[in-house]
A and B are shown apart, each in its own frame.
Chain A
Amino acid sequence: MLARDAETSLSKTPLHALHLARGGKMVPFAGYDMPVQYAAGVLKEHLHTRANAGLFDVSHMGQIALTPKSGKIEDAALALEKLVPQDILAVAPGRQRYAQFTNAAGGLLDDLMVANFGDHLFLVVNAACKTEDEAHLRKHLSDVCTIDVLADRALIALQGPKAATVFAKLCAEAPTMKFMDAGPHQVDGIACFVSRSGYTGEDGFEISIPAAQAEALVTKLLDDADVMPIGLGARDSLRLEAGLCLYGHDIDTSTSPVEAALEWSVQKSRRTGGARAGGFPGADVILSQFEKGAARRRVGLRPEGRAPVREGAALFADATSTKQIGTVTSGGFGPSLNAPIAMGYLPTAQAADGATVFAEVRGQRLPLRVSPMPFVPHSYKR
């Protein structure tokens, strides 16, 4: 009875039946019943995505439209800049940018994608944060923007070196798009929102589809011999190899963009001396860290042995010290590297590439080398 109750309380994406029909091993994730893997397994799904193309259901994520009441997109952009440290005004029509919602302490409430669709902004936020994000937007932006949660749309990602060839068969404009281009496009006659982006480090697309047409379109994509459905397990190992943060693990309300090594995502116009410096929650903390540095930093870690070092493992300066200096925030095995990889936080003084630190795993101290990220080079189509 308990198991059944738990099952019925989970939400289902518009592709749920397709996952079951294709042998998805379903697990609860952010309130949704989601496939962690299919019959092929995490390893094969991961390697297939890096060699061919993988199809991911990410419909659990939140899709939100911000429409300026004035009709001027600049007004929506400037309003959103009150909540994020990014330059949203500079996001041209048809372009997309990575952003974060900050809090008063300079921590991160969520990370998101912001696209300029000409007459409105299109946001994609994390599943686990989407209710709070919506409330946050309504509280601070309702005077300037109409906020619409697009709950009746599926969201999929098609990722990998063959994604562009496969997708071009259904979307004529796809080959003309570059990394982080985004906009409404017809896909096999369906009105979709398409961006050339993803969460694997590979070239690829994210496609927002009206829920009623999602299964038919995904079935068509999966009919292509180069495309395999990919579960959340490989999604995690792919993004870890790509050095990309997972909200709630590598970044959260206690980590600032500077600590999280996301300085690249904060444009100069929002930093001290910029045209629109500050003006977002926690700006005093974050801008001060830009000038003086932060006490700790997110780094890549390569265990020297074969044992994976998982999330939560304590980090030490040497093999015997009792003083913990950091924590692993994501860790596992990188199938493309055939080696364990991790990321975590270290004191900035000990975070230089090449430094050796030790993780405590099952009572043993295992050496790890601080390593540049991404672990696997990005192959974005710029």
Chain B
Amino acid sequence: MTVLYTSDHEWLRIEGDTATIGITDYAQSQLGDVVFVELPKIGRQLKKAEAAAVVESVKAASDVYAPITGEVLAVNDALAAEPALVNSDANDKAWFFKLKISDKNELGGLMDEAAYKAHTA
């Protein structure tokens, strides 16, 4: 299992052909109290960099972009009932959606944990 990061503050947990995607703890700390999350429909084909989900705080709405190309396999319904999970457990329980990876070469452009830490330092 590998965890990769984007410069837009998303994380990807890679397990075989599946990527689980969420936003980083740094991202949730910048957003503030999350009150609503909109997730993509299962089966949707997402292109890399396409707006895939929306996360809203009291004050503003922010897009979450697909970090790679792929088909949506699953979404985290727990976020609809409890959006604040994004604040309390961004790196694990508050995952957003799972993608079937179309092109593993796209993973090459992402950061590892050390590079991401340097990016947010």
A: residues with CB less than 8 A from B are: 36-37, 41-44, 46, 233-234, 236-237, 306-308, 310, 332-333, 335, 340, 362
Contact = CB atoms under 8 A, between A and B. Distances in A.
B58 interface: yes
Interface string B11-48: 00000000000000000000011011010000000000
A335 B58 CA distance: 8
Contact of A307 (B36, B59, B60): B36
A306 B34 CA distance: 12
Contact of B59 (A44, A236, A340, A362): A236
A236 B32 CA distance: 15
A308 B32 contact: no
Interface of B: 32-33, 35-36, 38, 54, 56-61, 80
A308 B33 contact: no
A373 B96 CA distance: 35
Report the 4 A-B pairs with minimum CB-CB distance, sorted nearest first. Answer: A43-B33, A42-B58, A333-B35, A333-B58
A46 B58 CA distance: 10
A41 B88 CA distance: 14
B94 to A, nearest CB: 16
A308 B58 CA distance: 9
A42 B33 CA distance: 7
Nearest to A338: B35
B35 A308 contact: yes
24 contacts: A36-B59, A37-B32, A41-B32, A42-B33, A42-B58, A43-B32, A43-B58, A44-B33, A233-B32, A237-B58, A306-B35, A306-B80, A307-B36, A307-B38, A308-B56, A310-B60, A310-B61, A332-B59, A333-B35, A333-B56, A333-B57, A335-B58, A362-B38, A362-B54
B36 A41 contact: no
A233 B54 contact: no
A307 B61 CA distance: 10
A332 B59 CA distance: 6
Nearest to A335: B58
A340 B36 contact: yes
Contacts of A333: 35-36, 56-58
A41 to B, nearest CB: 5
Contacts of A306: 35-36, 80
A233 B58 contact: yes
A75 to B, nearest CB: 45
Contacts of B56: 307-308, 333
A332 B58 contact: yes
A228 to B, nearest CB: 15
A43 B61 CA distance: 15
A48 to B, nearest CB: 13
Nearest to B35: A333
Nearest to A236: B59
A44 B80 CA distance: 21
A36 B35 CA distance: 17
A25 to B, nearest CB: 9
A362 B54 CA distance: 10
Contacts of A236: 59
A254 B57 CA distance: 30
B52 to A, nearest CB: 12
A238 to B, nearest CB: 11
A340 B59 CA distance: 11
Given A306-B80, A362-B54, A233 B36 contact: no
A333 B33 CA distance: 11
Given A41-B33, A234-B58, A308-B61, 10 more contacts: A42-B57, A42-B59, A43-B35, A44-B33, A308-B35, A310-B60, A310-B61, A333-B35, A340-B35, A340-B36
Contacts of B61: 308, 310
B34 to A, nearest CB: 9
A42 B38 contact: no
Contacts of A233: 32, 58-59
A347 B90 CA distance: 43
A236 B58 CA distance: 10
Contacts of B35: 43, 306, 308, 333, 340
Given A332-B58, A335-B58, A362-B38, A42 B80 contact: no
A36 B57 CA distance: 13
